[in-house]
Structure 1
Amino acid sequence: MLQRGRGGGWLAAVRDPERGRDDLLTCLRQDPRLESQEYRSPYYATLAMRLGVAAEEIAAQGVADEHSLTVSTLAEMAARGVRVPLPDRVLQGYGVPEWTRLAAWPADTPAAVALHVPRGELLASPDLLERLTTTSDPAEIAVLRDVASNGQGMPFYLAWEILGRRGDLSLFDRAEAALGTRSMQGAGSRRYFRSLPAPIALPLARQWIRLSGGHWAAAASMLGEHAEPEDVPYLRELLPMVLDWDMDDIVRALGRVPELGPYPELSTIYQESCHPFLRGRAAEAMARTDLDFGSRYGFECLWDCDSLARLQGVRFAPMGDEVAQRLREIATDGSERDDLQAAALSRLS
């Protein structure tokens, strides 16, 4: 479990410190991450500090690659006040994740400006997002369509996402043609279909989910947003295939239909998937569909390496002394996500 970043692995290491130290150093040396972007360093750093593993022992596992799990773990320890054997130039490359600092933008921000706002800040500006989604101003609609047709980078993706939210079908054929392509246009089309409102999305999803490739992926993303009870039988047929992170939409879709839960398959995914992101999705879906989730998994989720899984632990772990102490740790951890800290404070109040 420690290799997968599960909270149960962190807790087991604390209960058996000698074995926990060996397992931790093995994980850091072998780097079990499937992708270098997996944000596991706080998980291993806090465990190392809890077990009293010296920074020098961790560095001995290899620091030649500045993007390795060993280096990121040492950087996380340094951010928490531990002296580590890394040069300042390396440490400067690691800091507080950007999600902890999101600025809200005013609702009257023009579309041409709003499309250049970082996506996280746009989502943190609900009044602005709502205005762009509902605007009837021909000039602003033209800006959205032009950037989706001719733009580059994040403004291009945001334009497609907002057009989807609007249910704007003017570029539908272009979006469908790009499905399944490994291109900027393909990524834009995926955002578009995921964002379509249910009355448009669900008929498409139920038709395309029987296809393959880009159409199947678009259908899964739309069901992840809007699934209804009639979709559950086929979704459950697909669940045995769901062990890779890119099938998380099927898990999200089941979480949309709590009235037919619980779904035992979600527990299997939670326990067996090597992808922390998918485990977090499974935890979220179980929290919505299974009344026993809190008592079965809530406690260990509080220490999971995945922030979505930790959030479910914060919300649903049965309250007790250990849970209250962990909630206080999360609430005061400056590197933790804002939503997790807020949820922890709410549980403590």
Structure 2
Amino acid sequence: MTGVPLLDPEIPLPPDFPNRMLTHMFASPIETDIAPSGTLLGLLQRGRGDGWLHALAAPRPDAVAALNHCVLRDPRPDWQLEHRSLYYARLYRELDAPLDAIGEHLFDPVDALEECEQRTGLALSVLGHLVTAGRQDALALLRRYAVTGANWRWALDELAVREDDAGLRELGPAILARFPGTEAGERALIEAVRDSFEPRPWHLWAEDPARSGQRERLARALEIGDFDRWQRQLRPPTPQPGWSVRAVLDWAREGYEQTPRQWREAAAARCLGAVAGPGDREVLLRAAVEGPSPVVRAAALRHLAERGDPAVFELIQRAAEEPDEELAQAAVTAYARMNDDGALRQARGWLERTDELGRTAAVMLARRGSAPDAPGVLAALRRVVRTRGTDAKELRALVEGSARLAIGPAVPVLRHIYRQTISSQLRGHTARALAVTDPTFASGFAVECLWDCEEETREVAAHHAATADARVLDRLRSLAADPAEQEGVQTAVRGRLAPS
């Protein structure tokens, strides 16, 4: 354990902090509540290195129960970006934990009714890593689920990069039995082959010399799938309106008035970029102020912002204060996309605003500001944590800005974010900021980061963790010898272990 306190008393807590701490630990498989960061479950849900270390020190039944809870109730705020599977698989291996709970979860009757792949995706990914580590029980579960489970494509993708040719060929008839020999079945097969993430099994089955009927069926599916992909590349992504400013704006309005509504702000702004000239400025200014629908105003605003029009800031501020939420958000987004010096100067004027426009101004200063902007960035960082908590969307930019501007007084806030955020991605950015700003990082958080769930966070730790801690060298050697570890981490580890 790092021995670092869980909370910094100097950081004001969000208003809902007591309720957040009392939140029930158990929830649905999709909307999993996160336990307090000082508990074993909370640490494991966040993917923190300290969670790993606490689990190895805890009674084994408690550690296995917490680990199963995490894998069966995916705790990631963004399951498509954040990593947990290798982290949890390594812990299953260290604890020699049984996979019975995963099997019960995969083959629960609800699986046939649940279309969301998030329910089983993390468990299947963990099994994939365990297969790589030699767990035959994990391989058996993956093979069985690929044949009978609802999220079979994910299981097949895991097998595709781990199973040998002979094992995959055996699965061919069972997988193809999912697609009846009807017209609808053939269409479904073509779509499955065309959209597969890992095509290796389909090609193996199409080349299987022992099954001629299977070869013919898949050869046709592969050919049609390739043709479909080619056709997709030829289709224009959006309708093409008439080439005039008025026609573009009318096209945006028509989409807004359809049922269901189509918000064509971005596409219309791109079209305006192709057809609008200097003589159209007054028309666009009027459209941004008094357009017949919010999307027309939004498209005109976005176009003017992309051109850096000097009048756009007043228009953005006016639109950002409108009651129409889509228009207000579009105005803020238009400003956030600006990258000229005028936008940076305006950010300093909007920094004290407490609305989203003010937070966007702070983000711009964090990304592009200079040393004199450091106090303003620090004030915004503290304000966001105090009012919006440790998972606000603006924090990544503010944290990165603290590192870029080397804001030493931000360290207490950064430590608090590191401990409390449920986002392993944000924690990784915070670790990199602490490596720049916190003189105690090497002997503190960097040590636990060696066990973090995120590759980039482990890489930061491999560069910085102080080897005076006996655990550090052992962990560096373990990472160097682990074939599942990512190349960037191993490169950093080898650099630390190489004789100087």
Which TM-score tier does this pair reach, normalised by the shorter chain?
A: 0.5 to 0.7
Give the aligned CA root-mean-square deviation in angstroms: 3.9
| Pairing partner for 1:208 from 350, 366, 375 | 350
Structure 2 match to 1:171: 307
Question: Could you say what secondary structure the match of 1:60 adopts?
Answer: helix
The superposition leaves residues 263-317 of structure 1 with CA deviations (integer Å, 9 ceiling, x where unpaired) of 2111111111222222222212111111001211111111111334323311211
Give distance in 1, aligned partners of 2:345 and 2:356: 16
CA contact (8 A) 1:235 1:254 kept: no
Q: AA paired with 2:345? A: P
| Structure 1 residue aligned with 2:259 | none
Give the equivalent residue in structure 1 for 2:142: 86
Tell me if 1:246 matches 2:382.
no
1:51 aligns with 2:85: no
Partner of 1:135: none
Task: Give the aligned partner of residue 127 of structure 2.
Answer: 74
1:226 corresponding residue in structure 2: 368
Aligned partner of 2:45 in structure 1 is: 3
User: What is the DSSP-based 3-state SS (H/G/I as helix, E as strand, rest coil) of the residue aligned with 1:269?
Assistant: helix
Which runs of no fewer than 5 residues in structure 2 stay unpaired? Answer: 1-42, 147-152, 162-196, 198-232, 234-266, 273-304
Q: Which residue in 2 is equivalent to 1:102? A: none
- SS at the partner of 2:443? helix
Farther off after superposition, 270-279 or 303-312: 303-312
Out of 413, 426, 443, the position equivalent to 1:295 is 443
Q: Confirm or deny that 1:149 pairs with 2:251.
A: no
Q: In the aligned structure 2, how far is the partner of 1:204 from the partner of 1:325?
A: 51
Q: Return the offset for 1:10.
A: 0.7
- Hey, what does 2:65 align to over in structure 1? 22
**Which has the larger displacement, 171-180 or 298-307?**
171-180
The SS at the match of 1:293 is: coil
Stretch of structure 1 that moved more, 247-256 or 287-296: 247-256
Could you tell me which amino acid in structure 2 is paired with residue 312 of structure 1?
V
Shift of 1:334: 5.1
Q: Secondary structure of 2:460's partner?
A: helix
> Shift of the alpha carbon at 1:213?
5.8
1:31 paired to 2:74: yes
For 2:68 and 2:415, locate their aligned partners in 1 and report how far apart those are by CA, in whole Å: 29
**How far apart, in 2, do the equivalents of 1:27 and 1:48 lie?**
12
Work out the CA distance in 2 between the residues paired with 1:273 and 1:264: 14
Question: Once the 2 structures are TM-superposed, how far is the Cα of residue 45 of structure 1 from its aligned partner?
Answer: 0.9
CA 342–189 in structure 1, closer or farther in 2 if over 3 Å, else same? farther
Give the C-alpha shift of residue 51 in structure 1.
Answer: 0.8
CA distance in 2 between counterparts of 1:254 and 1:278 reads: 13
2:475 to 313, 316, 326: 326
Once the two structures are superposed, residues 35-72 of structure 1 have per-residue CA deviations (whole angstroms, 9 ceiling, x without a partner) of 33232111111111111113344323445364333222
Counterpart AA for 2:64: R
Contact 1:181 1:214 in 2 (8 A): no
In 1, distance between residues paired with 2:386 and 2:363? Answer: 18
Pairs within 5 Å for 1:56-205: 56-62=100-106, 64=111, 66-67=117-118, 68=120, 69-83=122-136, 84=138, 85-87=141-143, 88=146, 89-94=153-158, 149-150=270-271, 171-172=307-308, 192-193=337-338, 196=339, 199=341, 202-205=344-347
In the alignment, is the contact (CA less than 8 A) between 2:362 and 2:380 conserved in 1?
Answer: no
Alignment match, 2:84: 40
Q: Does 1:237 align with 2:382?
A: yes
- Conserved 8 A contact 1:42-1:305: yes
Deviation string, structure 1 residues 93-144 (Cα, Å, up to 9, x no partner): 3488x9xxxxxxxxxxxxxxxxx9xxxxxxxxxxxxxxxxxxxxxxxxxxxx
- Alignment deviations for residues 128-174 of structure 1 (CA, whole Å, 9 cap, x no partner): xxxxxxxxxxxxxxxxxx998259xxxxxxxxxxxxxxxxx853359
CA distance in 1: counterparts of 2:65 and 2:142, whole angstroms: 22
Tell me, yes or no, if the aligned pair for 1:45 and 1:76 is still in contact at 8 Å. Answer: yes
Q: TM-score, normalised by structure 2?
A: 0.48
Q: Which moved more, 1:75-84 or 1:291-300?
A: 75-84
Question: Match for residue 282 of structure 1?
Answer: 430
Partners of 2:407 and 2:382 in 1: CA distance: 18
Q: Which amino acid aligns with 1:82?
A: R
Q: How many angstroms apart in 2 are the aligned matches of 1:39 and 1:186?
A: 33
Counterparts in 2 of 1:225 and 1:337: CA distance versus 1, 3 Å: farther
8 Å contact 2:336–2:364 — kept in the other structure?
A: no
Greater mean alpha carbon deviation, residues 79-88 or residues 273-282: 79-88
Amino acid at match of 1:81: G
Q: Using the aligned pairs only, state the percent identity.
A: 30
Give the whole-Å Cα distance in 2 for the aligned partners of 1:213 and 1:232: 15
> For the structure 1 residues 190 and 348, does the alpha-carbon distance in structure 2 shift closer, same or farther, using more than 3 Å as the test?
farther
Residue ranges of structure 1 left out of the alignment (5+ in a row): 99-115, 117-145, 152-168
TM-score by length of 1: 0.67
Change beyond 3 A, Cα 1:252–1:80: same
Shift of residue 219, structure 1, vs aligned partner? 2.3
After superposition, the Cα gap between the structure-2 partners of 1:191 and 1:325, relative to the gap in structure 1 and judged at 3 Å, is: farther
Structure number, greater radius of gyration: 2
Q: Distance in 1 between matches of 2:55 and 2:350?
A: 45
User: Counterpart of 1:74 in structure 2: which amino acid?
Assistant: L
Native 8 Å contact 1:240 1:265 kept in 2: no
> In the alignment, is the contact (CA less than 8 A) between 1:6 and 1:303 conserved in 2?
yes
Answer yes or no: is 1:256 the counterpart of 2:417. Answer: no
SS in 2 for 1:318: coil
- Partner residue of 1:305? 453
Work out whether residues 327 and 344 of structure 1, in 8 Å CA contact, stay in contact via their aligned partners in 2: yes
* Cα distance in 1, alignment partners of residues 363 and 357 from structure 2: 10
Say how many residue pairs are matched.
283
